[in-house]
């Protein structure tokens, strides 16, 4: 027996050209239009915010890897993705220290204690955003007007509220459809431009970075909830448009819900996972303390993600057994 073809190396044995760095690079490319639009609306400060976030995450990941006796991999760009995503859901006028703390939380508390990239239970970006929202709600939910260039250094006083805040109060914000789609209104710096978000989404979908099942079920749930239970005195279409475009709903659906590490691995749980996140997002927006809810919904459903996989396997196993038992035996 020829045993020379048996591989003695550790897995993975099957390798393709689509490695983790390439997938992460695709995510970074899909984020770039959001930074570009944010730069047009708020100036150079957003680029500095993104750079600080990415650098903080990258350096802390290296330090934590060294301290925890893990392999220090300087080519691991997963922390950079986290560091770029966190500032996008925050206002452009946010203090740099808040971004650093949110990034530090996401890496040191959420990602590294569980084994680093690929082993985390919770979405690091969602956790960082949720941490910032809990610790500095005033800074996180007050914004500056778009098309007003912000200084790179110095303290900026933000005093405007996003349309999501007015929706929470029960008021109907007066926004043009074009403004809604281009993101030219008060809000988080990188989550309001729908065109840029859709461009990133299509790119990720074409490159097969994200799974369409999770995203589809998420948007179905969100749209259904906004249409069936509108909280403003308006028609369903207006309610859906305003609710979808006013906060981080689309951004969360594309970049947080579909994250492959924390999402379920099987197809049917993916539908359930996305659907439940959609429902929880709307519930958080309607009844939660903050105007945004997608980050909290993602974190809650991250806990149930392995359970969804487990129970789906059991359901599939028993359904197969039932099918086999019902199958008539062929007579000889």
Partner 1 sequence: MQENRNLPNDAKTDTFFGSRINRASVLRISRRLTVSVGNLFFKNPILVGGIILSPVISAVTTFRSGVAISIAVIIICIPSIIISELSSKYAPFWVSAIIGALVSALMSVPAYKMISPLSPDIFDNIGIYFPIIMLSSFSSAFTHNRKRRIFIWSVTDVVCAVCGFAFFAILIGSIREILAYGTFNGKLLGIEFKMSGVAMPFFGFILVGFILAIVQKIKNSTVFFKNLIKRRKEVQ
Which residues lie near partner 1 (CB under 8 A)? 97, 101, 109, 113, 131, 134-137
The distance of closest approach from Cβ of residue 97 to partner 1 in the complex, given in angstroms and rounded to an integer, is 6
Least distance from C-beta 302 to partner 1, angstroms? Answer: 14
Please name every residue paired with 143 in a beta bridge, in sequence order, or none if there are none.
Answer: 160
Q: Minimal distance in Å, beta carbon 55 to partner 1? A: 19
d(CA 258, CA 212): 8
Write the CB contacts of 160 (distance below 8 Å, at least 6 apart in sequence): 142, 143, 144, 145, 186
CB atoms within 10 A of CB 155: 7
**Least spacing, CB of residue 105 vs partner 1, in Å:** 9
Nearer to partner 1, 131 or 201 (CB): 131
Integer Cα distance of 306 and 192 in angstroms = 32
Please report how close the Cβ of residue 51 comes to partner 1 at its closest, in angstroms.
21
Closest contact distance (angstroms) between CB of 133 and partner 1 is: 8
Q: How near is the Cβ of 134 to partner 1 at its closest, in Å?
A: 3
Nearer to partner 1 by Cβ, of 68 and 159: the residue is 68
> Cβ–Cβ contacts within 10 Å for residue 317, how many?
10
**Least CB distance to partner 1 at residue 165 (A):** 19
Question: Minimal distance in Å, beta carbon 150 to partner 1?
Answer: 21
Residues 6+ apart with CB under 8 A from 312: 264, 266, 268, 269
Nearer to partner 1, 29 or 100 (CB): 100
Q: Which is nearer to partner 1, 113 or 306 (CB)?
A: 113
- Nearest by Cα to 310 from 262, 269, 257, 260: 269
CB closer to partner 1 out of 66 and 135: 135
53/146 with CB nearer partner 1: 53
Identity of the residue, 102 or 272, whose beta carbon is nearer to partner 1 in the bound complex: 102
Cα-Cα end-to-end distance for the chain? 39
């Amino acid at each position: 027996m020829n045993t020379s073809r048996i591989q003695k190396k550790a897995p993975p044995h099957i390798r393709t050209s689509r490695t983790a760095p390439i997938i992460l690079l695709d995510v970074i490319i899909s984020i770039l239009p959001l930074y570009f639009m944010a730069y047009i609306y708020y100036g150079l400060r957003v680029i500095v915010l993104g750079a600080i976030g990415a650098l903080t995450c990258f350096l802390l990941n290296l330090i934590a890897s060294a301290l925890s006796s893990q392999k220090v991999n300087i080519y691991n760009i997963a922390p950079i993705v986290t560091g770029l995503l966190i500032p996008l859901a925050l206002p452009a006028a946010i203090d740099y220290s808040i971004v650093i703390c949110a990034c530090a939380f996401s890496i040191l508390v959420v990602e590294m204690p569980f084994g680093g990239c690929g082993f985390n239970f919770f979405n690091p970006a969602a956790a960082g955003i949720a941490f910032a929202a809990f610790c500095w709600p005033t800074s996180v939910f007050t914004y500056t007007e778009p098309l007003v260039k912000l200084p790179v250094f110095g303290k900026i006083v933000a005093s405007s509220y996003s349309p999501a805040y007015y929706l929470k109060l029960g008021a109907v914000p007066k926004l043009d459809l074009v403004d809604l789609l281009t993101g030219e209104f008060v809000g988080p710096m990188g989550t309001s431009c729908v065109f840029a978000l859709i461009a990133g989404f299509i790119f990720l979908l074409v490159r097969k970075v994200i799974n369409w099942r999770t995203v589809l079920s998420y948007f179905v749930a969100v749209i259904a909830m906004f249409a069936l239970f509108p909280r403003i005195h308006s028609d369903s279409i207006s309610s859906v448009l305003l609710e979808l475009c006013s906060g981080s709903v689309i951004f969360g659906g594309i970049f947080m819900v579909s994250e492959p590490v924390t999402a379920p691995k099987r197809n049917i749980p993916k539908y359930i996972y996305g659907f439940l996140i959609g429902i929880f997002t709307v519930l958080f927006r309607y009844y939660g303390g903050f105007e945004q809810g997608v980050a909290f919904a993602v974190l809650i459903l991250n806990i149930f993600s392995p359970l969804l996989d487990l129970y789906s396997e059991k359901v599939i196993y028993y359904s197969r057994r039932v099918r086999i038992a019902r199958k008539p035996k062929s007579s000889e």
